[in-house]
With several copies, the nearest count.
Chain A
Amino acid sequence: MIEKVSRHIVQEEPLLFELSSPGKRGYQLPELDVPAVDAKAVVGSENVRNEIEDFPEVSEFETVRHFTRLSTWNYAIDLGLYPLGSCTMKYNPRVNELVARTEGLAWAHPYQPDSLSQGCLETIYALERALAEITGMDAVTLQPAAGAHGEFTGILMMRALLEKRGNPRKKILVPDSAHGTNPATAMMVGYSVENIKSNERGMVDVDVLSRVMTEDVAGLMITNPNTVGVFEENIRKICGILHDKGGLIYMDGANMNALVGIARPGDFGVDVMHLNLHKTFSTPHGGGGPGSGAVAVAKVLTPFLPGPRLNREGDAWHWNYDLPDSIGRVRAYYGNFGVLVRALAYIMAHGGNGLRQATLDAVLNANYLRVLLEPYYEIAYKAPSMHEAVFSDDRQAKKGVRTGDIAKRLIDYGFHPYTVSFPLIVRGALMIEPTETESKRELDLFVDAMISIAQEIDESPELVVNAPHSTRTLRVDEVTAARKPIVRWTPKTAASQAAD
């Protein structure tokens, strides 16, 4: 019996282009206070376009209704648990949205004089310091736009250092449990990727590592806690192995929510790492972004940080562009500043102790779920979990039900699914990360749902295989979507639509 959700009417809505009618518009411009000009005359008629074909024509009210209706088709953290492993879907404090809109910050132009940007510069400095303290690293760049972008920045710096030392080397080692962005990043920095197999505890195999670690290896990209939610217990030894052979350690900090305040990568030997401010530091995902992939580095790498860098001159901040060893820019301007403001607000609201407490709560919530679900689902590795617990669908697969089916059935129970089929080293992975902001009540309801689904799989697997049953949109045909891709509306598609 599903009690967490019920069904209710939801408004249907066509696409904007189907809604449009000629001449409608949602906005009025201020009166022009200078003479109008004849576009064709000033830029030449060949440079003036005809009307934008099929572009929307709707009223302001229709716009509000359109997007309000669309929004009701979404699930969101504001509606319930969002246990996506590796994504750290925690509460996004609303005050952060307010402060990010503070006029002097939101409307600051990146090229306005430094003297008129001290508030922005101070904000950037404060966040750099806080993140350096949290990671135990020397310096931080806030320029990267997301985690993958941070990886790219970090590996570029590693390469720059090695080149400076005389040899950039050829390979980057990547555990087979790593996120896809890791190998993809290594390639973009001109390295080949060597995958290394995890051991039976889901961790990097130290012997394998020592064997593959050669003078050709630029470094290792390691995620810690790793993607099965386990802390790499040999991390110091691993760093040692790399360093002894002149290699460097890159840490993917996507799982930093498990470490803040209890362990610092800088202390245990990491040379460079990124943080996903849109995970650990609560900035909203917004349906896929924006993010911010702050990168923290050890002293040896500071000369290579992307520019510009902040300098204090007298009692004012200035941007310093004179950075001979810098890898250069990874994007225009200084980073996703609006996201940085939110992250700093989050850190200020928690304070040092609050951040540590959040970590402990995250670990508690994950282990609570693990303990209650282990009787029903196969835990991927016996090693203790930190902020997330990863199961395999082995038992359910015997009944022909895979992790993807269980995920869809969870939707009927009123939950967003966990992360499906990642990491790849786990057969049919169920990767579950509740985060610290969830209440026991919501977690218990989730456990009930998972147990109930386990029973359904025994009694009536088809119920699960055909899920979801209660949503406006039933299971979506992703195969056809990819076979003949339609990625934009055209009057034609619309017609064929109508034809159906």
Chain B
Amino acid sequence: MLAAIGAKTEEDLIAYLPADVRFDKRLAIEDGKSEYDIVDYFKQRSTENAIGYASFLGAGVYNHYRPVVVDTVVSRGEFLTSYTPYQAEISQGTLTSIFEFQTMVCQLTGMEVANASMYDGSSAVPEAAMMAVRVTRRDKILIARTVHPEYREVLATYTKHQGIPVEELAYGKNGRLDLDDLKKKLDSSVAAIILQSPNFFGILEQVPEISHIVQSKGALLVVVFTEAVALGLIEPPRDADIVVGELQSFAISPSYGGPYAGIIATREKYIRQIPGRLVGETTDAQGRRAFCLTLATREQHIRREKATSNICTNQALLALMATVFMTLYGKEGLRELAEQNLAKAHYLADKLPLQFDAPFFNEFVAGTNGKSPQAINSALLEKKIVGGLELGRFYPELKNCTLWCATEMNKRQDMDMVAEAFGK
């Protein structure tokens, strides 16, 4: 090959690079390792983590069983090692599955259109805010303090330099958005109010009521979800204008925080304001049904500085995992799964001091009956149980409270041990 190019060595090919940019040292990275050594290295890392612990952590990342078939599907090279389906004629597999994904997201959320995925739930929130600003031509965003704290941090980062002021809305003593605070702050400069349901405390917000208040003022209602399993049983936010959320619960392993799959769904009329990729139905030269990426004129590679977002690569493979998961559980299975989560969480909640009394799904906030959260959790760690999230780090006023999640994966005897630890 070198001969064909008229070069003697590969070094010749880069000889022309200016000497003052060449890196002539050796990279300080150890020599290549064998596959065996690499597998061994990560096995060791793995054992430095929690293994064999029962966990009651949720807070945006949930421990659900992943059916084996999900891995079977995403391990197929045809899905795993293909690029974004720009060449529709040889990408119908991916395009068809994304079309199915978009459809199922609509069916779940009660929205009319959904995109092909966002990075994750947290980054989908500012995208929704920016979209609302474009739609309403207003600039202010109100966000409930019951939205995942890290999601709120991400919103702050994104909006800082885009002239989008953000204000937070308080929660009441039942753990729900404080409607009075909402009414107080809702004025004609507000583009959208952002709400999470089930909220960070696991509590169901009053979406219909809130949507009336919000929409009557010409603002959009954005509803966020972090626990997709709830959608199998809980009434979806049909009255919202935009729904964003996280599908990690659908067969995506917690993987220490990512990769996950965010979604954004909305009403048909806003389709041209939606960020990210969309797959649409069309026909091929023979008139047979086919799918392709569509409405690219919203996107950065065509619209550049006028694009709806700068997002390019999304989370396609994770969206496929969620698609397979939704397919396997299906209409009945997803409901039954949600019912099991509801039952487990309420079994546990009945044994712990509840901080709030509004209805919740599979997470809830426990108050204290004397013992500190730290004391309870370290006692549980002894028993190889990771207890609830200590809320002080996000809500100073709840420093004695912990956030507990129970899913179909949590065993009764572990829940009973938690109750003991609370000394109840």
Contacts and interface: CB of A to CB of B under 8 A. Distances in A.
A328 B153 contact: yes
A20 B331 CA distance: 10
B397 interface: no
A231 interface: yes
Interface in A243-295: 261-264, 267-268, 276, 278, 284-292
Contacts of B50: 104, 108-109, 112-113, 116-117
B332 A474 contact: no
Interface string B171-184: 00000000000000
Contact of B88 (A20, A30, A71, A478): A478
A344 B308 CA distance: 33
A267 B23 contact: yes
Interface residues of B, number: 196
19 contacts: A27-B329, A37-B339, A43-B204, A67-B327, A68-B73, A101-B253, A102-B46, A107-B63, A107-B255, A183-B305, A284-B80, A285-B81, A285-B84, A288-B316, A329-B122, A333-B61, A473-B284, A478-B292, A485-B294
A55 to B, nearest CB: 4
B343 A37 contact: yes
Q: In the complex, which range does the number of interface residues on chain A fall in?
A: 35 or more
Given A43-B234, A482-B296, 10 more contacts: A33-B411, A48-B234, A77-B81, A117-B49, A122-B45, A136-B23, A286-B82, A288-B94, A328-B160, A474-B286
A189 B339 CA distance: 44
Interface string B314-332: 1111101000101111111
B282 A480 contact: yes
Contact of B154 (A26, A52, A111, A329): A329
A476 B33 contact: no
A332 B60 contact: yes
Nearest to A12: B288
Interface stretch (B110-118, B185-193, B211-219): B110-118
- The 10 A-B residue pairs with the shortest CB-CB distance, nearest first, are A333-B257, A286-B317, A104-B46, A78-B77, A288-B316, A190-B161, A352-B27, A119-B45, A119-B48, A351-B32
Contacts of A276: 313
A338 B46 CA distance: 13
B340 A29 contact: yes
B234 A103 contact: no
Contacts of B69: 26, 60, 63-64, 94
Given A26-B330, A134-B27, A328 B84 contact: no
Contact of A345 (B42, B85, B163): B42
Interface string A431-465: 00000000010000000000000000000000000
Contact of B284 (A15, A183, A475): A475
B157 A156 contact: yes
Nearest to B67: A27
B310 interface: yes
Given A49-B233, A106-B255, A156-B157, A55 B339 contact: no
Nearest to B312: A148
A29 B408 CA distance: 8
B284 A332 contact: no
B22 A263 contact: yes
B356 interface: no
Contacts of B116: 288
Interface in B184-213: 204, 208
A461 B2 CA distance: 34
B92 interface: yes
A356 B24 CA distance: 11
Interface in B265-288: 271, 277-288
B343 A30 contact: no
A46 interface: yes
Interface string A153-197: 000100100000000100000000001110111111110010000
B300 A330 contact: no
B39 A475 contact: no
Contact of B99 (A15, A24, A330, A334): A15
Contact of A339 (B96, B259, B314): B259
B379 interface: no
A338 B80 CA distance: 14
A203 B346 CA distance: 61
A152 B100 contact: no
B424 interface: no
A98 B259 contact: no
A77 to B, nearest CB: 4
Interface stretch (B12-20, B135-143, B365-373): B12-20
B412 interface: yes
A407 B87 contact: yes
Contacts of B313: 146-148, 276, 278, 285, 288-291
Contacts of A72: 78, 93
B90 interface: yes
A400 interface: no
A25 B162 contact: no
Nearest to B329: A27
A367 B61 contact: no
Contacts of B72: 64, 94
Which of B78, B284, B386 is packed against the most chain A CB atoms within 10 Å? B78
A73 to B, nearest CB: 4
Nearest to B149: A332
Contacts of B7: 367
Contacts of B76: 67-68, 71
B412 A37 contact: no
Contact of B314 (A30, A70, A117, A288): A288
A30 B157 contact: no
A261 B78 contact: no
B278 A193 contact: no
A428 interface: no
A391 interface: no
A112 B307 contact: no
Nearest to B97: A70
A54 interface: yes
Contact of B285 (A48, A94, A151, A466): A466
B330 A25 contact: yes
B23 A261 contact: yes
Contacts of A363: 10, 13-14
Contacts of A89: 83
A332 B122 contact: yes
B26 interface: yes
Contacts of B112: 488
A187 B317 CA distance: 29
A78 B78 contact: yes
B310 A151 contact: yes
Contact of A181 (B5, B13, B312): B312
A290 B87 contact: no
Contact of A487 (B158, B294, B344): B294
A376 interface: no
A45 B289 CA distance: 41
B234 A287 contact: no
Contacts of A267: 21, 23
Contacts of B17: 231, 262-263
Contacts of B231: 49, 52
B11 interface: yes
Which of A235, A328, A338, A339 is packed against the most chain B CB atoms within 10 Å? A338
Nearest to B96: A70
B252 to A, nearest CB: 9
A104 B41 CA distance: 12
B57 interface: yes
